Structure 1
Amino acid sequence: MARRNFGTQVTALVVDDNALNQKIHQRLLESVGVRNEVVTNGKEAVDIHCHGKRFDLILMDMDMPIMNGIQATKELRSMGIGSMIVGVSSRCPETEIRKFMESGLNDYHEKPLNTAKLNSILHKMNPNFTSNNK
């Protein structure tokens, strides 16, 4: 996959307890030039923000131990975090997705993400974003 430059350095936080999904999302983000970090649950996502870290994009899993994605998203929004938060989950019942969206998500995609889904997310963040990978 050819490396593309999003422009200014975009940062992302991958919040997922599944190691395989972490790797897939990390590599996908890196392939488009997005610097990223990984945490394994919602509490760690909240804690990293409490310690002053900020990210342009947060990929938030729904089902995680300690603090799930719905709780973490609500907490981050209550802290004033304005990052684009995209819910990612393998569960797709409409009621669960709606509950997740209502927690403060900007977008939702079924996981794992792929190039087309990531390009859609990045385009929403920056309409000038264009992918070389058609």
Structure 2
Amino acid sequence: MNIGGGAKVSNMRALVVDDNMVNQTIHHRLLQNLGIENQVVKNGKEAVDVHSSGKYFDLILMDMDMPIMNGIEATRTLRAMGIRSTIAGVSTRSLDQEKQEFMEAGLDDYQEKPLTKAKLVSILHKINHSG
């Protein structure tokens, strides 16, 4: 997997978990532009349901504030299910206490919105070096 220059990342699947349509579109396009197949769901419960149905993702971009099941709860649930995917929290929250709680839920990385190509590539490098 090479993420340098204009290289595409092949055979990688990502899940975008965000209730905001604009963020869904931005994250979907950023991933698509890097050649990463991705699916979008609008809350943590849908993310858990998708995994329960047997799908696997290399990367999960998880929003913190969502209806039904928030990102912290969803991350804890996915980890409890044995999901080992890289989960990156993506949120507008900047309070250290909130970030800390999100990280402790089982995140591998945390990025503040808006997510940019540079931030996404930074997350992808972590996947590349850990796997």
Q: Where in structure 1 are there 5+ consecutive unaligned residues? A: 128-134
Pairing of 1:49-128 with structure 2 (within 5 A)? 49-127=51-129
| 3-state DSSP of counterpart to 1:126 | helix
* Matched pairs, number: 125
Aligned partners of 1:112 and 1:12: how far apart in 2?
A: 18
Which deviations, in whole Å up to 9, do the C-alpha atoms of 1:1-23 show, x marking residues without a partner? x96312x4110000000000000
| 3-state DSSP of counterpart to 2:40 | strand
TM-score scaled to structure 2, two decimals?
Answer: 0.92
Q: CA RMSD in A?
A: 1.1
Whether contact under 8 Å (1:11, 1:57) holds in the other structure is: yes
Specify the alignment match of 1:5 in structure 2.
8
List structure 1 segments (4+ residues) > 3 angstroms apart after TM superposition. none
Aligned partners of 2:6 and 2:77: how far apart in 1?
A: 34
State the percentage of identical aligned residues: 62
More divergent stretch after superposition (85-94 vs 118-127)? 118-127
Aligned partners of 1:75 and 1:105: how far apart in 2?
A: 12
Aligned partners of 1:83 and 1:112: how far apart in 2?
A: 22
